[in-house]
Amino acid sequence: MHRMQLGLVGLGKMGANMRTRIKAAGHEVIGYDPRPEVSDVASLAELVERLEAPRVVWLMVPHGEITDQNVEALAGLLSPGDVVIDGGNSRFTDDQPHADLLAQGGIGYLDCGVSGGVWGLENGYALMVGGSDEDVAKVMPIFDALRPAGPRENGFVHVGPVGAGHYAKMVHNGIEYGLMQAYAEGYELLQAEPLIEDVTGTLKAWTEGTVVRSWLLDLLVRALEEDPGLAQISDYTTDSGEGRWTVEEGVRHAVPLHVISAALFARFSSRQESSPALKAVSALRNQFGGHAMVDQQGRSVGETSTHDK
């Protein structure tokens, strides 16, 4: 194995677990986060100083302004031959401007969609990468450390040029919206029928052998076992952008996205009226991603930590 150094910016739920998994594979990871208690260095400049050229710096920070600021800062700190990876959920239209800015200094750029949530530490992360063949090859040992065990093609794909990785992740998350909504509506219908005396047991019986079995179904069952009836969860469900972008792309390409659009609009509805289906979606987001939930009074219930191993 080729041992690599990696600079990792952003040590939140995903970033911290990724650092642990990459280190476990034998690579050196130097992490930077504005919170001193979790950071290995005091600044982005110190992070760059600690890395040996050619450097690879992976961003796991919120999309938009914070990502822009970090890319701009790295453009002034890195050297020709270095590579920056944006592993956050940035919109694909942000990628080419970032790549162009870095290219002025001879710095490579990859956009990487990362899926795995709080379970990725143990199970590995599915990776969707956009960028040049040369830059992908430079970082492949890190990608191999992060992806699930088994054939590379079952957990990693070089989708295409810059922007392709985030586009693929956007569509992935749009599909996720639709799947969660379908399970949630099925849960609500089972709950509404007096003949069904064991809703959780019914869903659990579907987790092996049936055509609708999936990891999301497993997580819904887990959520119901931990909180029968989802009594502790509000149906207020947020969205972080990818579903909206997917629907906008459907409009741009004239591709009918009936299910994904309906799932997005259902989340909007959750902010206006009570819905057991959206309680289930909120519970699923907490289960697989550790996202904070909101109770009936609008107060944060907190984040999942028991599975964040």
Say if strands 126-130 and 156-160 run parallel, antiparallel, or are unpaired.
parallel
The residues near 30 (Cβ < 8 Å, ≥ 6 apart) are 5, 6, 7, 8, 40, 41, 47, 50, 51
CA dihedral 41, 43, 44, 49 (to 10 degrees): -60
Compute the residue count for the chain: 309
Token pair of 222, please?
């887990």
Q: Give DSSP secondary structure letters for 133-170.
A: HHHHHHHHHHHHHHSPSS-GGGTEEEEESTTHHHHHHH
Instruction: Identify the CA nearest to 234 among candidates 294, 283, 191.
Output: 294
Distance of CA 297 to the CA centre of its chain: 28
Catalytic amino acids?
169, 176
Instruction: Identify the CA nearest to 4 among candidates 144, 132, 121, 139.
Output: 139
How much of the chain is in helix, strand and coil states, percent to nearest 5? Answer: 50, 15, 35
The residues that bridge with 132 in the sheet, in sequence order, are none
Would you give the DSSP letter of residue 42?
S
